Each structure stands twice: as structure tokens, then as C-alpha cells.
Structure 1
């Protein structure tokens, strides 16, 4: 029993430190102890599990799922469940997302031929148009965690600390495969020409160097609502720049129909074309939800064109206000 207790403590310590090899070594010790005690089936299963995990080539899974140390203070980890089929984008933009996924899924083949898959990505466009959702889709489709950078923790009043924290993030990206999302990136990547703080310029220079030297192990995604204020030096450092826009009437109908499902059966979506103008994906989802809840609360089972139109008008009024 004492030996088993020591093994458990060793497993916990190796898990906490993200040391996969130490974890496997202790697991094999447990298997050996089980064999000595006559538990041959358990010993065989443990050995098989260790060999399967080692041969899978997965790198530091525990570290990715639960960021530790300095990284844990800088990122919010999540495991998105939103799939590609739920992402409604114009055809050209959708093809870019498909290309990113294709390159990542065949990254080994590309690397074997001396080419890196696209992994430095800039998403720009109005709020609520699908930028953050795209990052989530990439993470889900590639079975990777999404690590969203906490800009409040990254941007220190002591700017030298910010550069050091950037180094922590990019070093983690070298060894812990994930999608690293710098949301509201303009807070970090604003135009240096209008900034007379020398240290702020050095922070951005540091980011540019880290970005340019980053390997293709992880995806680095920067998302911004304000492309116009970004430093021009940023754009040539990214492998792909994806431009997001407000949905047209066809895309708006797909978004709302997807959210409402069968409760919207029979709705003539073209008749709502004028009512969706100027609304983002997020606005459309909220309008659809508002219409559905109003109908359900009143005892109905189907939304009508008038229900949806009323909700859309409320969203338009709110966006203008």
C-alpha cells in the first residue's frame, strides 16, 4: 500500500509539471508492481495504454488542457465545440478557412517538402462578424484547445514586463500545440507612428520578431475590429489576412434559420431582406432568439415573418442607439 501511495503522489507531481516521460515511467512502475502481485491483466492494460500514448505523437496534452505557471495567468483555455458547418461566411472567406484547415491537416506532408502551413493569421472586420467564432472552429476541427490571450494580464504598466510575457506565450506556442487567439489585437498592434512612448514601440517590435520567428507548431490568430489603426508593418508578417464583413441577406437567412431550426418552418426569408441590413451575425442570432422566446412564452410553437421582423427592427434600433 505504501508503494502504491508513493506511485500516486509521483503521478500527480509529473502530471502537474507536464512531464509526460516521468508520468509514463511511473505508470510502468505501477504496471510492474501489479504484475508482481498477480494482476497480470491490469499490468498488460497499463503497458498497452502507455505504449499507445507514446506512439501517438501527442505533445504535452496535459499542459495544453490546463496551462500552468506563467502561461496560466496569461491565457484562458477552452475546448470549443462549434463546428465548421455552423460557421456562415461568404464563399471566398469560407474557402480561406477551408484552406487553413487543409494545410494544418496535412502539415507533416508540407513540412516534409520544405513548406510551412499557414499559421500566422489576422482576422479583421466589424464586431460580431465571426472572427472569434472562426478561431473556435479552427480549434474544434483540428482537435486543439483554444487559448485566448488575456490582454489585461499581458499589458502591464511596466512595459518591459509585457515583452517578457509575450515571450512566455510564443515559447509556449513552440511546444504546446494550440490555437492562440489575440482578441482585440489593436490594443497591442496599434500604429507606432502616432505613439510617442518608446517602450510601447519596443513592445510591438518584440511582437513582430516573435511572430516572424514563430514555428508552425501552433496557430497564432490576431483579431481586430479596427484594421485602420493597426501598424502597417504587421500585415506582411501574417501568412493570411481574412477580411470579415456584415452578412448579406442570404447569409443572414442562413444564420437565423440555423438558430431557429424547425420553429421557423415556413418562413419566407427573402421578405426580410430589408430588415437585416446593417446587422452582424451576433445581432441576427440575438434577434432570432428574441423572436423564438416571445412566441414560446405566448404559448405558440412557430415563429412568423412578422415575429422575426419585429425582433430585427428592435436590433436595428439598438445598434443605431
Structure 2
């Protein structure tokens, strides 16, 4: 929705004394202002909205402060976006393409002046625990917009047609609010419609989902993540302008990551190159949890860092087995930190 449309809606809401429409429109203006790094304007708009909204409409709000209307409050979660692209260790091609996407979004007005739109549909694929969720968060951080995650437990329903109706409500809100809309475990919704084992309902959900994605404006960035991209419908793949893979980290990747997080010899008493060799076969999420365990024990035990690291590495090998570094698999382990 353009700035002109939002201003017209704002005038209409004031004339009609429609507080719900007023709040929704101002929320969209706030998100647009933050996307353009106009934080002073965004703060003033938010303050003005709080001064005029009835007490019954001032709460509850999501964690990041974005107003979530009643119809989507139970269907979305706003996560705080705290890490940027520079905080991540990404494959060179992924890093380059994501930065291009962010630049296009920042220069959206220039592109639209030339009858072009910035790219805004992204698919992230790869094993769990290797940065999919965190990369989506970093895109939201770079754009200065809310980071909204769909709650599948609230969206997916056993009743015929209800799942599609809930998805429609989510996408209607996303169309009115510049944001990063994140769909994790996307294969739960975007399954191949030709699968004979799937019900007619899931096929209708996929069709509805595709229509909703096509109707999203370019200022709403949709990021989908899947651990099993082979399960996705072929028509789903066609919708994404960026299709990026985040593979399991290699030994060299772990070395770069250790240097990035400041895990040097002085802190751990162990050469980062040797530690990277030991961590190979795990994910970034597991490696970060490993480092956190080491740091806790160093603080609490006040012991020699090298001996603590050695002890934790034995537990690491026992947990993941001797074949972890060969197969590169990590089963169903829970993602954390630079995760999914």
C-alpha cells in the first residue's frame, strides 16, 4: 500500500471516528517510517497513537511494540530483531544476495520510479540449526521493520476451510504493515499437491497460500524456511525470487565463526583451528550451545579453560557420535541461536 493510500485511510478513519482503522493505518505508517530509518517520525506517530487510542485498545501489544489487531493477535508472534547481517557467518553467495535484497528494499522508491519493484519473497532451505531463523531476523533488523512469525499451532485447524481463512487474515494484516513475515517449517503448509497421501483440505490450503503470496506488496518481505524442500509444491518454488541454501558448516566455516564470536586461544586456552576440527559435523546452533556451556563452567568453576573445553568436547563427541563429522547429519536436534 502506497503512502498516499495510507494517508487517505488515515483521513477516512478520523472522519468516521473509526479507532480500529486509525490504529491499523498509523501502525502501517510507523512501520514504513522505520523501514526508511525515519525513527523520530515513527516514535512521534506511535506516541500520538497512544494519546488518542481508547484504553481498551492500547493493550495488549506484541513484544516489539507493533500493534496486532484482535483478528491476528493469536496467529502471529513478533520477535525482537537484535542481530544484523554482519553478526552472521554466511556462505559468500548467500551473503551477497541477501545484501542485494536489503539494498533493493532501501532503494524501493527509486526502483518504483522506474516501474520496478524490489524483490521480497525469499526461500531458505537447509538442515536445522544453521541460521535460517536468524537470517530472517537479520533481514528485519536491516530493514527496521517488525519480525513476525506465523504460529502454526493457531493457524492450522482440523475444520474444513478454517486454516485458509486464518491464513487470509494473517496476509491481510501483512499487506497493511511493512514487515518481515516469517514462515518456519514451511513444508507444513506448502506441500506438494500431487501427493496422493495428502487430503483435499491441504491442497486447498496450498492453493489459498499461493494466491495470498502473489497478492503481497513488495514492502512486505516474506521469508519461508524449510528443512525438507523436496516436499514443497512445485508451484510454491516458482513464487520465490530468492532461493538460498544454508548447508551444514564445514571446518573452515567453524574457524571463521569462532573468530567472529571472539572465541580465541586466550579465552578458551585452545587453538580455534583445532576446536573447529572438533566441532565439524555439528550445526551452528549446537556449536553456540557448546560455547555457552564452556563459558558457564569457566565462570562458575574458575577452572583452567583448556581443561574445561577438553571435558566438554568429550561430551560433544558422546552426544553426536563418531559419524557426525562424516555424514553431516544432525537428526531432529532443537535449533537455537544462529538457528534454523
Aligned to 1:253: 255
Deviation at 1:16, TM superposition (A): 9.3
Aligned to 2:317: 313
Aligned to 2:168: 167
Give the SS at the match of 1:65: coil
Consecutive unaligned residues of structure 2, counting only runs of 5 or more, are 1-17, 27-39, 47-60, 325-329, 334-340
Deviations 1:7-66 (A, max 9, x none): xxxxxx948961567xxxxxxxxxxxxxxxxxxxxxxxxxx989x759xxxxxxx89713
TM norm structure 1: 0.76
Take 1:123 and 1:70, find their aligned partners in 2: how far apart are those partners?
28
2:244 to 209, 222, 242: 242
Q: How does 1:252-271 map onto structure 2 within 5 Å? A: 252-259=254-261, 261=263, 264=267, 267-271=270-274
Aligned to 2:57: none
Give the SS at the match of 1:157: coil
Aligned to 1:281: 284
Give the 3 Å change call, closer, same or farther, for CA 308–19 of structure 1 in structure 2.
Answer: closer
Take 2:270 and 2:158, find their aligned partners in 1: how far apart are those partners?
53
Q: How does 1:184-203 map onto structure 2 within 5 Å? A: 184-194=185-195, 195-203=197-205
Give the 3 Å change call, closer, same or farther, for CA 259–307 of structure 1 in structure 2.
Answer: farther
TM norm structure 2: 0.72
Q: How does 1:1-321 map onto structure 2 within 5 Å? A: 14=19, 18=23, 53=45, 65-194=66-195, 195-259=197-261, 261=263, 264=267, 267-300=270-303, 302-303=305-306, 306=310, 309-310=313-314, 312-317=316-321
Give the SS at the match of 2:161: helix
Deviation at 1:308, TM superposition (A): 6.1
Deviation at 1:140, TM superposition (A): 0.9
CA contact (8 A) 1:186 1:229 kept: yes
What's the Cα RMSD here? Answer: 3.0
Take 2:128 and 2:236, find their aligned partners in 1: how far apart are those partners?
20
Give the 3 Å change call, closer, same or farther, for CA 124–49 of structure 1 in structure 2.
Answer: closer
Take 1:264 and 1:257, find their aligned partners in 2: how far apart are those partners?
11
Deviations 1:209-241 (A, max 9, x none): 111222102111111111111111111111111
Higher helix share: 1
Take 2:232 and 2:24, find their aligned partners in 1: how far apart are those partners?
39
Give the SS at the match of 2:189: helix
Deviation at 1:276, TM superposition (A): 2.2
Give the length in aligned residue pairs.
276
Consecutive unaligned residues of structure 1, counting only runs of 5 or more, are 1-12, 22-47, 55-61
Take 1:269 and 1:18, find their aligned partners in 2: how far apart are those partners?
51
